Amino acid sequence: MPQRVMEMIKTAPVKIGTDHSSMRNRNERLVMSLIRRRGALAKSEIARMTGLSAQTVSVIMRALEDEGFLLRCDPVRGKVGQPTVPMRLNPEGAYFLGLKVGRRRSEVILIDMMGTPISRSVSRHDYPTAADTIAFAIDAIARMVTELPASKRERISGLGIGAPFRMWDWGVALGLDESAMADWRERDIRAELEAIYPFPVVLENDASAACSAELLLGDQTLPDDFLYAFVGFFVGGGLVMNGSLVTGPNNNAGALASMPVPDGHGGQCQLLDVASLSAIEAAMAERGLNASFLWERRDEWELPEDIVDDWL
């Protein structure tokens, strides 16, 4: 089941018409994406929207229903012909784990197929090490899996990791010794975690992962082309073209952090120096104020008004 789901949600380009399995997976992704965006749909509606034949759509939806990914809704009766039976995503059709690695806070979350959080665990730190991150993830995942009924555990279909790239380079930016985060250079947390679990583990840049989440679970009226701004400890971004995330040949397309901007004093600086939440933390520290709540309570920030104004 886990590998089956991951095959269906892969976003890599497919060479249409060259492989039956690839074509089937592509069509299943297309059908499930439509239902996710539009809500419950009948077979006839999906055939009209996709251009697939009614028979192809019927086979796909029957298979997805048999595998527990789709649920039937109440029949909709019209004036002419047989009633239509819309189908919707089954929230319990699959579960997914996520690990977000942040400079001040890391988090593990378990969501259902609709993106609804089932369980969450948070780790607060002055800076993350690879060893501590792996230990935190293993402990949190073990608890979350145990809390799920046994019948649902086999439907955990993957672990996604969102983390800044080249973590070992951020020690100096955090005011640390160069060796403080050196273990990130030596350890591959994706490979280490994948060796433990029966489901696939994928790693993506944290800003790109956030942009992907916006595409999948966010406002479905977004345009096909846009730039996504990620405001975290350091500012970042993602680039979307033709409705798909574009990471570029070096996996950093849309990275806003190094963009040159006016520094307010006649010169230039990088965007991350002024637009990141770390700038607020630094301004608070200069006044001897505790800024730990920035990473602990997302809905209760009490900030000096002038610091907020300067940052905005």
Nearest to 184 by CA among 100, 295, 277, 101: 101
CATH assignment, 226-311 = 3.30.420.40
Please write the tens of the pLDDT for every residue from 164-191.
888 887 777 777 887 888 889 899 999 9
What pLDDT is attached to residue 175? Answer: 77
Asked if residue 133 lies in contact with residue 193, where contact means CB atoms within 8 angstroms, the answer is no
The answer to whether domain 94-199 and domain 226-311 are alike in fold is yes
18: which 2 tokens? 């060259």
Tell me what pLDDT residue 17 has.
43
Neighbours of 149 (CB within 10 A): 7
Q: Specify the CATH number of the domain 2-89.
A: 1.10.10.10
Q: pLDDT category, 13, cuts 50, 70, 90?
A: very low
Compute how many other C-beta atoms are within 10 angstroms of the C-beta atom of residue 1: 16
pLDDT at 33 over 80: yes
* Closest to 24 measured CA to CA, from 44, 4, 40, 48: 4
Residue 153 buriedness (CB in 10 A; 0-12 / 13-18 / 19+)? middle
Pairing of strands 95-101, 156-163: parallel
Summarize pLDDT for 50-82 with one digit per residue, the tens: 888 999 999 999 999 999 999 999 888 776 667
Q: What is the pLDDT of residue 227?
A: 93
Q: Buried (b) or exposed (e) across 39-51, using 16+ Cβ within 10 A?
A: ebbbbebbbeebe
Domain ranges of the chain: 2-89, 94-199, 226-311
Is the pLDDT at 117 greater than 80? The verdict is yes
Q: What is the pLDDT of residue 177?
A: 81
Average pLDDT over residues 88-93: 94
* Residue 105: count of CB within 10 angstroms of its CB: 19
Judge whether 109 and 98 are in contact, CB under 8 Å.
yes
Superfamily for the 94-199 domain: 2-keto-3-deoxy-galactonokinase, substrate binding domain (3.30.420.300)
pLDDT at residue 79, rounded to an integer: 60
